[in-house]
Structure 1
Amino acid sequence: MASDWLERWRDGRIGFHRDRPHPALVQHWPDLKVPAGTKVLVPLCGKSLDMRWLAHHGHPVLGIELAAQAIEEFVAEGAEGVARYRQDGFDICRQGSVELWCGDFFHFHIEQAAEIGAFYDRAALIALPEATRQRYAFHLAQLTPPGAQGLLVSLTRDPGGPPFSVSADEVRQLFEPNFRVTHLGDGEPEPSGFRESVWALQRRGPLTSS
């Protein structure tokens, strides 16, 4: 899985990358009412412009990405200076209020996530095969405190991948043990056969349980 992902970046097979912020983020993030200044975790972030959108709207961003090439392309496309350092086995680039950790998301642990208060997933869950998605959902829950808000964009498609098809039932099965899950809507079917779904997630815990 990791080698395939790195190969995609080397070969430029990154059709999943968008040249503007995702419409679902622009439409639905304000409704979550995440306070400005809340640090947002973006797993498997690639070089997504969604991170710049979040930063522009007052959020420090922590993106985690396996492909160093994606990180280098992201910072090269920015106008601000870059600080580089290494921490806990990750090579880190900071540009403005976006910090990018190069390494395996599953090696990022709660001690490193102390300031995380929200999360955004447009391309992480759907990049993972079925056998890994349960591990991903559990690990995300470990990294987010009770009450943390998040936005998830999943998709359904014909067999194949990545990106992989993740049904509404699977989204609920994966996340409802640890999150309140709210379906916000579905996009129109695309000619490629993709259809995106948007979800609001809130980490369960003492602050939110009934």
Structure 2
Amino acid sequence: MGNEWIERWRDGRIGFHRDLAHPALLKHWPSLGVRPGTKVLVPLCGKSLDMRWLGQHDHPVLGIELAPLAIEQFVEEGPGMVSRYRQGGFDVTRQANVELWCGDFFHFHIDQAAEIGAFYDRAALIALPPATRQRYAFHLAQLTPPGACGLLISLTRPEGLGVGPPYHVSAEEVRERFEPNFRVTFVEQGEPEEGSGFRETIWSLVRRGPRQ
């Protein structure tokens, strides 16, 4: 799985990348009520401009990305001085208030996530095959404290239209994966994408406490 994504970046097969911040982020993030200054975790972040938008709205960002090329392109295409260091087995690249940790999301541990108070998933869950999505949801829960809010942008695809990635993730699966540890609220469903029929579904998630 990891090698496949590294090869995609190397070959320039990154049709999932958007040249602007995602409209759902702009529309729905403010309604989560995440306080300014709260650090936002962005798993499988690529070079998403959503991270710059979050940074510009007073949120330190911690993105985790397996492909070094994605991180290099992010800092090359953005303004600001770049610093690099190594921490907890990850190579970390920092530009402004965005820090990008290069490595496997599943190797990022709770002691490294002490400052995380919110999260954003635009294309992480749907990049993972079915066998890995349960593990992803559980690991995300481990990394986020009770009360942490997040926005999840999932995807459905017409039956018979290949397998993925991006993968089809039904509303039932979103609830099944996340409801054990999060309060899950359906927010919105987008219109079918012209040419592919893909439809994005938007969800807000709040990490449950031990008695919730």
Q: Does TM, scored on the shorter chain, surpass 0.5?
A: yes
Task: In structure 2, give the amino acid aligned to 1:31.
Answer: S
Aligned residues: 208
For 1:194, the aligned partner's letter is F
Question: What is the CA-CA distance between 1:193 and the residue it aligns to?
Answer: 1.7
* Deviation for aligned residue 1:79: 1.2
For residues 6 and 29 of structure 1, the distance between their equivalents in structure 2, rounded to whole angstroms, comes to 29
Alignment of 1:178-189 (within 5 A): 178-189=181-192
Is it true that 1:200 corresponds to 2:185 in the alignment?
no
Q: Does 1:146 align with 2:149?
A: no
State the distance in 1 between where 2:79 and 2:43 align. Answer: 23
**What's the offset of the Cα at 1:159?**
3.5
Residue type at the aligned position of 1:66: L
The answer to whether the 8 A contact 1:126-1:162 is kept is yes
1:119 matched to which residue of 2?
119
1:202 offset after TM fit, Å?
0.1
SS of the counterpart of 2:47? coil
Query: SS at 1:193's partner residue?
Result: coil
- Matched residue SS, 1:29: helix
Q: Deviations over 1:81-106 (max 9, x none)?
A: 00100011100001000000000000
Q: Match of 1:155?
A: 155
Q: Who is 2:44 aligned against?
A: 44
1:98 corresponds in structure 2 to: 98
Offset, 1:189: 0.4
* Partner in structure 2 of residue 131 of structure 1: 131
Q: Give the superposition deviation at 1:160.
A: 1.5
The two structures have a TM-score, normalised by structure 1, of: 0.98
Superposed CA offset, 1:34-89 (max 9, x none): 00000000000000000000000000000000000000000001110001000111
3-state SS, counterpart of residue 131 of structure 2: helix
SS in 2 for 1:64: strand
Q: Which runs of 5+ in 1 are unaligned?
A: none
Q: What root-mean-square deviation, in Å, do the aligned CA atoms of Structure 1 and Structure 2 show?
A: 0.8
Identity percentage of aligned residues: 75
In 2, Cα distance between the equivalents of 1:45 and 1:166?
19
The reply to whether residue 84 of structure 1 matches residue 88 of structure 2 is: no
8 Å contact kept, 1:159–1:165: no
Among 152, 169, 172, the residue aligned to 1:166: 169
Q: CA deviation at 1:148?
A: 0.2
CA-to-aligned-CA distance 1:151-174 (integer Å, 9 cap, x gap)? 000000133110001000000000
- State the SS of the aligned residue for 1:8: helix
Unmatched 5+ stretches in structure 2? none
List structure 1 segments (4+ residues) > 2 angstroms apart after TM superposition. Answer: none
SS of the residue corresponding to residue 10 of structure 1 reads: helix
